DNA sequence: ACCTTTACGTCAGTCATGTTGACATATATT
DNA sequence: AATATATGTCAACATGACTGACGTAAAGGT
C-alpha cells in the first residue's frame, strides 16, 4: 500500500489502469442513473421506485424475497416504496398458488407504461454507447462487468439472461 | 418505445441486449460499491466520504468547485462530509496561491492511508475481472463505459486519464 | 396434530445523504 | 467602485437506507 514508486515499476501502470476502471464505472453509473430522473419527478417517484418497477417488469410474478435479494435492501426499506407503487396502481400483488404466503409482484398496465418510459432514456444511452463502440467492445464490456459481479449472484444473473 | 424491431437491427442493439447492458451496470456497481463498506464502518464514515477521499487522492490540490463538478452534488451536501474529513484530520485545505479564494484540497498522511485501504478491495475486484476477461475485453469495457458518460464530462475525464 | 420455520407485513426510531433557499465573506475581475 | 466568483454557513426538509421488535398466515417436519 505505502510502497512508493521505486524506479520503473511496471505495477504502477497497472495500478493506474485499475483505478481508471473504477472511475469509469463511477462516472458511467452517475450519468446513467440521472437519465430517468425527469420522468420520475413527474410522478413524484425516486430512484428506489425505478429499481422496483424495473425488476418487476423484467420478472413478472417474482416474490418479495427475490426482489429483496436483487436490491440488497431490507424489507422495511422496500415496503415503503413498494407500498406506494401498489397504492398508486403501478404494481399488484397476488397470492402465490403454490405457496400462498408469497405475494407475487406484477406490473399493472400503468406500471408497464411507467417502466417503459423509465427504460427509454437509459436504453438510448446504452444503444449509443454500444453503436459507437462496436460489437466486439460490447462483448468485452459484458465480460468484465460480469466478472465484477460477486460470485454469489453471478450464476443467477447468467441464468436469468439465458432464459430470454 | 413501442417500436417493434423495424428492420435488421444488429444483434447487440436489440432491446434485450440493451436491458442486459443496463442490468449488468446495476449489479456490478452494487457489488463494487459494497466492497469498502467494512473499512468505512471502522471509521464511522459512509460512501460519500469515500468518494471525496478518492477524488482528492487522485487530484491533490483540486478546488472545491472541481470536486463538486465531479460528484454532482450541492456544496451544502459536500460541506458536511468534507467538514468531517477536515475536522478528523484526513483532509487539509490550503488557500490557493494564484486565486486566494480557493480552498485547495489535499489528503493528510492519514487520509492517504485511508484512501489506500478503501481502494484496495475495489482494485482487487477490478483486477480479478480484468484478469479473467483478458486485455481485449478490458479495451471494450473502457470504450463502452466511456460512451456511457455524458458528453459534458467525457472530455475532461479523457484528459485527466491522459495526464497519468 | 403439534411445533417450528418461512414469507411477508408493520410500527417505531434513527441515520446518511441528498435537496432548496437565503445570506455572508473574501477575493478577483471589469 | 461595482460586480462577479469561490467558498462557507444556517435552516428546513426529502429520500432512502438501517435496526429492532412484534404479528399473521401458511408451509413443513416430527
B61, part of any domain: yes
A71: cell is 436490491
* Position A6 pLDDT exceeds 50: no
Cα separation, B112 vs B90, whole angstroms: 8
Nucleic strand C contacts from chain B, 81-100, CB < 7 Å: 81, 99-100
Please indicate whether, in this complex, the C-beta atoms of A23 and B157 are within 8 angstroms of each other. Answer: yes
Q: Would you say residue B44 has pLDDT above 80? A: yes
Q: How many of the other CB atoms lie within 10 Å of CB of B57?
A: 20
Q: Is residue B72 part of a domain?
A: yes
Of B residues 88-107, those with CB within 7 angstroms of nucleic strand D are 93, 96, 99, 101-104
Distance A159 CA to D25 C1' (A): 32
| Residues B140, A145: C-beta atoms closer than 8 Å | no
Name the residue range of residue A89's domain: 10-133
Instruction: Please determine, for residue A7, whether its predicted confidence score (pLDDT) is greater than 60.
Output: no
The answer to whether residue A150 is domain-embedded is: no
Interface with B, mutate which of A11, A25, A54, A160 (most B CBs under 10 A): A25
Q: How many whole angstroms separate alpha carbon A84 and alpha carbon A44?
A: 11
Q: Which of residues 40-59 of A touch strand D (CB under 7 A)?
A: 44-49, 51
What is the domain count for chain B?
A: 1
**pLDDT band at residue B8 using 50, 70 and 90 as cut-offs:** low
Residues on chain B touching A132 (C-beta within 8 angstroms): 147
Nearest to B153 among A27, A72, A126 (CB): A27
Q: Of B67, B35, B69, B34, whose CA–CA distance to B53 is shortest? A: B67
Q: How confident is the model at residue B9 (pLDDT cuts 50, 70, 90)?
A: low
Inside any domain, residue A87: yes
Percent above pLDDT 70 for chain B: 95
A134-148, B10-24, B128-142: least confidently modelled range: B10-24
- Please provide the average confidence, as pLDDT, over all residues in chain A: 93
pLDDT value, residue B5: 45
- Name chain A contacts of B122, Cβ cutoff 8 Å: 22
Question: CA geometry: angle at A100 spanning A95 and A104, to 5°?
Answer: 35
Q: What would the grid cell of residue A124 be?
A: 438510448
Domain presence at residue A89: yes
Chain A hits for B133, CB-CB cut-off 8 Å, are 140, 143-144, 146-147
Query: Can you give the pLDDT at residue B12?
Result: 78
Q: Is residue A4 part of a domain?
A: no
Q: Three-class SS string for chain A?
A: CCCCCCCCCHHHHHHHHHHHHHHHHHHHHHHHHHCCHHHHHHHCCCHHHHHHHHHHHHCCCECHHHHHHHHCCCHHHHHHHHHHHHHCCCEEEEECCCCCCCEEEEECHHHHHHHHHHHHHHHHHHHHHHHHHCHHHHHHHHHHHHHHCCHHHHHHHHHHHHCC
Q: Is residue A142 part of a domain?
A: no
Q: What is the pLDDT of residue A157?
A: 97
**Per the domain annotation, does A162 fall within a domain?**
no
CATH number at residue A112: 1.10.10.10
pLDDT range class, residue A19, cuts 50, 70, 90: very high
Confidence label for B11 from pLDDT (cuts 50, 70 and 90): confident
pLDDT-derived band at B10 (thresholds 50, 70, 90) equals confident
Amino acid at each position: 500500500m505505502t510502497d512508493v514508486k521505486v524506479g520503473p515499476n511496471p505495477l504502477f501502470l497497472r495500478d493506474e489502469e485499475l483505478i481508471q476502471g473504477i472511475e469509469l464505472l463511477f462516472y458511467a453509473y452517475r450519468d446513467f442513473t440521472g437519465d430517468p430522473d425527469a420522468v420520475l419527478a413527474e410522478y413524484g417517484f425516486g430512484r428506489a421506485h425505478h429499481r422496483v418497477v424495473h425488476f418487476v417488469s423484467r420478472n413478472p410474478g417474482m416474490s418479495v424475497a427475490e426482489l429483496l435479494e436483487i436490491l440488497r435492501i431490507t424489507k422495511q426499506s422496500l415496503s415503503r416504496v413498494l407500498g406506494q407503487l401498489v397504492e398508486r396502481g403501478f404494481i399488484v400483488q397476488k397470492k402465490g398458488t403454490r405457496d400462498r404466503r408469497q405475494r407475487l409482484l406484477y406490473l399493472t398496465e400503468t406500471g408497464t407504461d411507467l417502466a417503459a418510459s423509465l427504460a427509454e432514456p437509459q436504453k438510448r444511452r446504452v444503444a449509443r454507447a454500444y453503436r459507437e463502440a462496436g460489437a466486439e467492445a460490447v462483448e468485452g464490456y459484458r465480460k468484465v462487468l460480469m466478472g465484477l459481479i460477486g460470485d454469489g449472484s453471478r450464476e443467477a444473473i447468467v441464468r436469468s439472461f439465458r432464459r430470454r
